[in-house]
A and B are shown apart, each in its own frame.
Chain A
Amino acid sequence: MFGDALTELLKTSGFATMTWQSAVMILISIVLLYLAIHKKYEPLLLVPIAFGVLLTNMPMGELIHMDFFKGEHIELANVLHGMDLEEGAPIGGLFDILYLGVKLGVYPCLIFMGVGAMTDFGPLIARPSSLIMGAGAQFGIATAFLIAISLGFTPDEASSIGIIGGADGPTAIFLTSRMAPHLLAPIAIAAYSYMALIPLIQPPIMKLMTTKKERVIEMKQLRPVSQLEKICFAVIVTLLCILLLPSVSSLIGMLMLGNIFRECGVVARLSDTVQNALINIVTIFLGLTVGATAIGENFLAPQTIKIIVLGLVAFMFSTVGGLIIGKVMCVLSGGKINPLIGSAGVSAVPMAARVSQVVGQKANPRNYLLMHAMGPNVAGVIGSAVAAGTLMSLGATLFASF
């Protein structure tokens, strides 16, 4: 009798329905947790992502139903009622509700508001030519896009893979959730993993692309930037970017709103909330739900390996693009600009700027490049958002015409 009961219990347990894909994904989630906790690789994002992967691959957990979000359609009634209305059976779905924030592009924009509230655009305003380095460092997007197309990905998928080269997690998630939502998990995991690996990926490329003479260049201190300039900058970037590319309105708009909170000096409470409580809450939801989309049956496919490799290619070429522009500006300025700051144009604030500082200081201990590199670094945030907006708004027209 007890034997029968035990057999019945085992039959209804998760063990009986465990697939090899679920088992592999659970192992992957444990590796990601290890990397986040022990190696401290982007832990703020990687811990919730890894736990989301773990939860979503537990057999019979039924936490998320990607069928409700196929294409541009959302089966809102099923999501909100937590049950399949046709079948009438309850099917759980906590993550279905949280995933709405990803699908509708809410979380990345709210994170951008937090990023804006934490970012000082002063170095960029003091040397606006940094914007060109931020543009050059989007080169990896184009390269990865081309390689992805030649590997057989559709233009929408290739755009989503290419945007990993922008080194900007929220932008990558925003674009992918709109253009290729089925690739969200591998793209988000690749983007955040490579952002954490920037101190390993960039320095060899930086040393390869620059001469010792260029690396030792000491740069003059930047001029101080007034509060009025910073407020005007936020307004002008918003006006210009959104008028030129309306599709970036939510990303750039939220980035600059957060920055206005920071710079105007009269809404300290809002600024504090946006750069602490709000961004932390949204990070939890975003990480968990992105992780939850990594369902074994979809994730363990050859295309995931391709995406991971293409992501690395995108990062490397973005670094090369930024450095090339840095070298050009070094020549044009008569050797006053250290080309190492160009690699910081890949966004990944402030990690990429810190890498420029470390590599520059190794070449010349008196070199302080951090503040100079922050200019291209924050320009990269704007650049990757503009690239995403361009891919979204022009993509459909361009891709259709070819």
Chain B
Amino acid sequence: MDFGSATLSALFVMLIVFTVLVLLWVAVRIFSAIILGFEKRGSAKRAAGNGGK
């Protein structure tokens, strides 16, 4: 394997690593937002319930 091909291979591997981790970043942001939203709603409902008593 010559140096040019090796450079392309190395760049390709780094590209895949970055792509997978960026996708994970996006996925974590989305599920965190959903879970935090649910938890906020739940605590707001509980607070409203306690106020009613």
Contacts and interface: CB of A to CB of B under 8 A. Distances in A.
A143 B20 CA distance: 20
Given A146-B3, A232-B35, A391-B13, A386 B21 contact: yes
A200 interface: no
B14 A142 contact: yes
A211 interface: no
Interface string A367-402: 000000000000100110011001100110011001
A297 interface: no
B11 to A, nearest CB: 7
Contact of B28 (A125, A226, A402): A125
Given A146-B7, A232-B35, A394 B24 contact: no
Contacts of A391: 13
Contacts of A402: 1-2, 5-6, 8-9
Contacts of B18: 132, 135
A6 interface: no
A307 interface: no
A145 to B, nearest CB: 5
Interface of B: 1-3, 5-14, 16-18, 20-25, 27-29, 31-32, 35-36, 39
B21 A135 contact: yes
A225 to B, nearest CB: 8
Contacts of B28: 124-125, 128, 131, 233, 236
Contacts of A320: none
Interface of A: 124-125, 128-129, 131-132, 134-135, 138-139, 141-143, 145-146, 149-150, 154-155, 158, 162, 226, 228-229, 232-233, 236-237, 240-241, 244-245, 379, 382-383, 386-387, 390-391, 394-395, 398-399, 402
Contact of B17 (A128, A150, A155, A383): A383
Contacts of B2: 402
B42 to A, nearest CB: 11
Nearest to A239: B27
13 contacts: A128-B32, A132-B18, A135-B22, A138-B14, A143-B10, A158-B6, A229-B31, A236-B27, A240-B23, A240-B24, A245-B16, A382-B24, A386-B20
B21 A379 contact: yes
Contact of B25 (A132, A150, A228, A229): A132
Contacts of A128: 24-25, 28-29, 32
Contact of B16 (A158, A240, A386): A386
